A and B are shown apart, each in its own frame.
Chain A
């Protein structure tokens, strides 16, 4: 990496060819061994690991819009593993490990920035929850500890220690907490996958899934029909709609999630700070903007429109946390679609259709799972449906067995 960067810097010509990251659009073939529906982070990561580790390159990634233009572009780019359930912690800890190496692996800077995440406790119950999370994190190799108000003051001097009359009693300090450029993650995976022979087809929408005797045989697209050996669905935000085309229902309800960002200011906030009681998290990007996020909208909707109510509620609490930002101007606001499950864990693995694999239910926790998700989904496909240990607990079947994975640490806001 450093040498190529040096070479780039000393080059008098702009090395244009090398930046033509993706092969130009080619005609769709009539058959692929694996069709991945959804060209977001998860989809291209699955294609990348299929090609890299399993030698499966007759793969098409079909994307109805453009690469990484869906929820990959709409999340707030938080990476962490300080979850509550052993299943969740094991899974996300692996993801953090992979994330740390991605820039080197891609030879492409994903701007990984490990600045730590601080979650605030305003009640005794929250402190008890934090103790449990610390213990489980440490056991499975994550980096979390419980810190007291004095340590919090030193870490984040600008924080109001009594926001909305709810004193900050303790903090869950997760040193593994990080951010990365979400677009770059998708681009890096796509570049790595396509250079190994995978085809990425943008503006290619799947309009129907053909299932015969519980096996998927082909997908219909707006560019024609493709027969396929296996299908992976990785379309967060539209999981239920695609699954309906394959003939089954999912344990998912889709809610909008809104976020917003201010004009840039000088750096003053190093860690990412979240308060579950105030339904709010705040972080400062490397460009200096403050990013605010909160909980999903109060009721389901397939629209990324913005509402004044959410902005008022979220920003009132953000100003409680950081009174000094009250005069700052918002620059941008956006929304994404979150496929929420009732236990705040994903739905991964097998589906009622034999060779149709699910990567769904990514609610508000999809971006941080991108690498491990791609890796395990690739194992699943290459193993012809042998489910990797790491994702066994997240099977759709768990809902029929009443064996949910209750992930209370899933979001900064909803619990």
Chain B
């Protein structure tokens, strides 16, 4: 079976991993319009190239980023998301009166 190098667990069978989509620039969810959000959610580059993707090692619930060629299926590099993201995105909206 194909092996994928998990940054946390090392080489593991590809059946333990779940594909999580392209890594994209997220629009500001508080200020963007519906069209921009739909574009972010549903539309993809889907290119034949080395692409940057989210992957999940399911048994350890660990999300990481992989660079992979979509024609040869070769992983160039896998790394922890902290290399790319330094702050947490807060999705919580303004506090509703009844929740206080």
Binding site for B on A (CB under 8 A): 240-241, 244, 249-254, 298-303, 305, 307-309, 342, 399-400, 402
CA distance A309 to B13 in the complex (A): 11
CA distance A37 to B76 in the complex (A): 33
CA distance A240 to B42 in the complex (A): 13
Interface segment out of the listed B45-53, B81-89, B91-99: B45-53
* Cross-chain contact A402 with B34 (CB below 8 angstroms): yes
A249 and B45 in contact, given A299-B19, A303-B71 (Cβ under 8 angstroms): yes
CA distance A251 to B40 in the complex (A): 10
* Cross-chain contact A399 with B42 (CB below 8 angstroms): yes
Question: Quick one: which of B28-59 are within 8 Å of A by CB?
Answer: 34-35, 38-39, 42-48
CA distance A342 to B44 in the complex (A): 11
* Cross-chain contact B44 with A249 (CB below 8 angstroms): yes
CA distance A301 to B46 in the complex (A): 9
CA distance A307 to B15 in the complex (A): 12
* Cross-chain contact B73 with A305 (CB below 8 angstroms): yes
**Chain A residues touching B, majority SS:** loop
A253 and B14 in contact, given A299-B19, A301-B73, A402-B38 (Cβ under 8 angstroms): no
A302 and B48 in contact, given A250-B43, A251-B43, A399-B43 (Cβ under 8 angstroms): yes
CB nearest to A241 among chain B residues: B48
CA distance A253 to B44 in the complex (A): 7
Q: How far is the CB of A104 from chain B (nearest CB, A)?
A: 40
Q: How far is the CB of B20 from chain A (nearest CB, A)?
A: 9
* Cross-chain contact A400 with B34 (CB below 8 angstroms): yes
Is B2 positioned at the interface, with any CB of A under 8 Å from its CB? yes
Q: How far is the CB of A403 from chain B (nearest CB, A)?
A: 10
* Cross-chain contact B42 with A251 (CB below 8 angstroms): yes
Q: How far is the CB of B48 from chain A (nearest CB, A)?
A: 5
* Cross-chain contact B2 with A252 (CB below 8 angstroms): no
Q: List 21 A-B contacts (CB under 8 A).
A: A240-B44, A240-B45, A241-B47, A241-B48, A244-B45, A249-B46, A250-B44, A252-B46, A253-B21, A254-B46, A299-B19, A300-B19, A300-B46, A301-B70, A302-B48, A303-B71, A303-B72, A303-B73, A308-B1, A399-B38, A400-B38
Contacts of A244 in B (CB 8 A): 45, 47
* Cross-chain contact B44 with A298 (CB below 8 angstroms): no
Binding site for A on B (CB under 8 A): 1-2, 14-15, 17-19, 21, 34-35, 38-39, 42-48, 70-73
A307 and B44 in contact, given A300-B19, A399-B38 (Cβ under 8 angstroms): no
Contacts of B21 in A (CB 8 A): 253
CA distance A305 to B18 in the complex (A): 19
* Cross-chain contact A253 with B73 (CB below 8 angstroms): no
CB nearest to A248 among chain B residues: B43
Contacts of B72 in A (CB 8 A): 303
A342 and B42 in contact, given A300-B70, A309-B15 (Cβ under 8 angstroms): yes
CA distance A249 to B1 in the complex (A): 33
**Given A301-B73, A309-B15, 9 additional A-B pairs, CB 8 A:** A250-B44, A298-B18, A301-B70, A301-B71, A342-B42, A400-B34, A400-B38, A400-B39, A402-B38
A250 and B38 in contact, given A300-B70, A301-B70 (Cβ under 8 angstroms): no
Contacts of A301 in B (CB 8 A): 70-71, 73
CA distance A251 to B22 in the complex (A): 12
* Cross-chain contact A307 with B42 (CB below 8 angstroms): no
Contacts of A308 in B (CB 8 A): 1
Contacts of A302 in B (CB 8 A): 48, 70-71
Query: Which 9 A-B pairs have CB atoms at the shortest separation, nearest pair first?
Result: A240-B46, A299-B19, A251-B42, A249-B43, A399-B42, A400-B38, A302-B48, A302-B71, A302-B70
Contacts of A250 in B (CB 8 A): 43-44, 46
User: Pick the contact of A298 from B19, B38, B43, B71 — CB < 8 Å?
Assistant: B19
Contacts of A402 in B (CB 8 A): 34, 38
* Cross-chain contact B46 with A253 (CB below 8 angstroms): yes
CB nearest to A342 among chain B residues: B42
A400 and B73 in contact, given A241-B48, A299-B19, A308-B1 (Cβ under 8 angstroms): no
CB nearest to A256 among chain B residues: B73
Contacts of B35 in A (CB 8 A): 400
Contacts of A249 in B (CB 8 A): 39, 43-46
CA distance A206 to B28 in the complex (A): 37
Contacts of A252 in B (CB 8 A): 44, 46
CA distance A301 to B19 in the complex (A): 11
CA distance A132 to B35 in the complex (A): 33
